Structure 1
């Protein structure tokens, strides 16, 4: 294989790595937007409304008070968005540096991506647990109201 062929393959791998980093960045922006919405208490607390949240129809079907309570419980358990932002930025910086390095360290990149995935998964799992706990606490009438809101189209 000629040097040009080898460089072409390396270039493709590098572009895929950059694409992965961009994709990861977009995922973290979504997580940040959801965290910001939860931090500010839902749709009336800030610029990002519940409809823009990526938690989907279950979050939108909750009452404003339930969203605020779940958001506060998440902040209590996981820390606030602003508290976590330096760690998120550090993870992105480390990943960007690893992807830009002259010598690609596959083990490091895999570890950094898995760390970011684990943080997102933990946030998702805590949110899901808190939602289920709230559903378990609801009265029959509250659950029926939730089910009605869940069944409506939110557009």
Structure 2
């Protein structure tokens, strides 16, 4: 009868533990990938910030319409990178004001006011471009847009409130 060496038994236990750990990690990665694919299908990603972002309206426009809106904005000289940079600067100013000691309410109000003004300006531009695009659509295209918009809003209503 062959004797078992003590080192071999320990080695088999170590290999088995490594195998179990590897299998667990692979299953976790597969779960994340599959979960991401399922979530992507149910909730497609939002358009990039700083682009023609019209909230839920953006999602209801076709990709061709979004492209036309983007081209119209660029034709007017809108610079999306500059808009993103300005929004980041507003956030940085607000963060600095919130972290300041002693509390400087005027700085917080100024940062929020600057952000509000930029946001309102972007909303006005977006609304004007959207109306121009809707005006250029055929009645059938507008009806299809209205149907997609209803679907988008229905999905927003089904989302549970954030905690």
Q: Please, what TM-score do these two structures have when normalized by structure 1?
A: 0.55
* Residues in 2 aligned to 1:61 and 1:32: alpha-carbon distance in whole angstroms: 12
Report Cα offsets for 1:55-87 as digits up to 9, x if no partner.
11x322322111111123334547333223333
- Number of aligned residue pairs: 109
In the TM superposition, what are the counterparts of 1:5-16 in structure 2 within 5 Å?
none
Larger Rg: 2
* Residues in 1 aligned to 2:119 and 2:127: alpha-carbon distance in whole angstroms: 12
* Residues in 2 aligned to 1:102 and 1:152: alpha-carbon distance in whole angstroms: 47
Q: Partner of 1:11 in structure 2?
A: none
Match status 1:55 vs 2:55: yes
Q: Partner of 1:103 in structure 2?
A: 102
RMSD between aligned residues: 3.0
* Residues in 2 aligned to 1:145 and 1:106: alpha-carbon distance in whole angstroms: 47
Change (3 A) 1:105 1:88: same
Contact 1:78 1:123 in 2 (8 A): no
Q: Partner of 1:145 in structure 2?
A: 144
Show structure 1 runs of 5+ residues with no match.
Answer: 1-30, 39-52
- The more displaced of 113-122 and 74-83 is 74-83
Show structure 2 runs of 5+ residues with no match.
Answer: 1-45, 156-163
Q: Partner of 1:127 in structure 2?
A: 126
- 1:152 positional shift: 4.3
Change (3 A) 1:103 1:130: same
Match status 1:35 vs 2:56: no
Change (3 A) 1:83 1:139: same
Change (3 A) 1:91 1:150: closer
Runs of 4+, deviation exceeding 6 Å: none
Contact 2:50 2:81 in 1 (8 A): no
Q: Partner of 1:72 in structure 2?
A: 71
* Residues in 2 aligned to 1:55 and 1:145: alpha-carbon distance in whole angstroms: 18
